[in-house]
């Protein structure tokens, strides 16, 4: 399966009553949302993750369990894959600044190949400028990525880290 890039839905977001900017209705897919381009699909992922965060889903485990519930997915494998790739524990708190990396690996798991780092970064920066998503994380016992916060983290992730495996 090549995933849902043909309908510009890199996160395999299921159909629902929620309407996202750039969403095509009706979708040409029976089960998944369709977007006008991948940028809008990534944007919807950021919006959903930010909503999760605002509702208290703030660990890798809780976010992925909410995104891909066990009744419909191999959630434990999904969590293991993303936590291993991100080099964080499953119960690690996920700040907004970690969203680009999280989306990169979620897209990889969902589709069997990674998404476009540059496109994810561009969407994150646009979202940060217009949706207050770049507030720096509170400094506690968090990782460097969390401490740096939004845009700075995106810069590090996509420009200074050459290649992810």
Task: Evaluate whether residue 116 is within a structural domain.
Answer: yes
Q: What is the residue whose two structure tokens read 């159909």?
A: 15
For residues 107 and 2, give the distance between their C-alpha atoms in angstroms, rounded to a whole number: 11
Task: Evaluate whether residue 29 is within a structural domain.
Answer: no
Measured in degrees and rounded to the nearest 5, phi and psi for residue 98 equal -90, -5
3-state secondary structure of 98: helix
Structure pTM? 0.78
Per-residue pLDDT of the chain (165 residues; tens, 9 = 90+): 345 778 999 999 999 999 999 999 999 999 999 999 999 999 999 999 999 999 999 999 999 999 999 999 999 999 999 999 999 999 999 988 899 999 999 999 999 988 888 899 889 888 875 444 444 333 233 444 444 555 555 555 555 554 444
Task: Evaluate whether residue 17 is within a structural domain.
Answer: no
Q: How many domains does the chain fold into?
A: 1
Residue 1 CA to its chain's centroid (Å) = 20
Burial class (CB in 10 A: 0-12, 13-18, 19+), 8: buried
Task: Evaluate whether residue 11 is within a structural domain.
Answer: no
Task: Evaluate whether residue 153 is within a structural domain.
Answer: yes
- DSSP assignment letter at 137: P
* Upper half-sphere CA count for residue 4 (Cβ side, 13 Å): 27
Task: Evaluate whether residue 27 is within a structural domain.
Answer: no
Domain around 104: 38-160
Task: Evaluate whether residue 14 is within a structural domain.
Answer: no
Task: Evaluate whether residue 25 is within a structural domain.
Answer: no
3-state secondary structure of 34: strand
Q: What is the residue whose two structure tokens read 């990525």?
A: 145
For residues 134 and 130, give the distance between their C-alpha atoms in angstroms, rounded to a whole number: 10
């Amino acid at each position: 399966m090549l995933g849902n890039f043909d309908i510009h839905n890199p996160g395999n977001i299921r159909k629902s009553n929620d309407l996202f900017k750039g969403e095509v209705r009706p979708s040409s897919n029976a089960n998944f949302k369709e977007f006008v381009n991948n940028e809008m699909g990534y944007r919807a992922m950021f919006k959903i993750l930010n909503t999760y965060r605002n509702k208290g889903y703030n660990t890798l485990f809780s976010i992925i369990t909410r995104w891909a519930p066990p009744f419909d997915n191999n959630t434990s494998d999904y969590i293991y894959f993303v936590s291993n790739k991100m080099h964080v524990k499953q119960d690690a708190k996920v700040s907004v600044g970690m969203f680009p990396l999280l989306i990169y690996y979620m897209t990889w798991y969902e589709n069997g190949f990674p998404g476009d780092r540059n496109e994810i970064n561009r969407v994150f920066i646009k979202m940060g400028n217009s949706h207050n998503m770049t507030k720096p994380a509170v400094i506690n016992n968090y990782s460097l990525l969390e401490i740096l916060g939004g845009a700075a983290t995106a810069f590090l992730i996509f420009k200074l880290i050459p290649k992810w495996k």
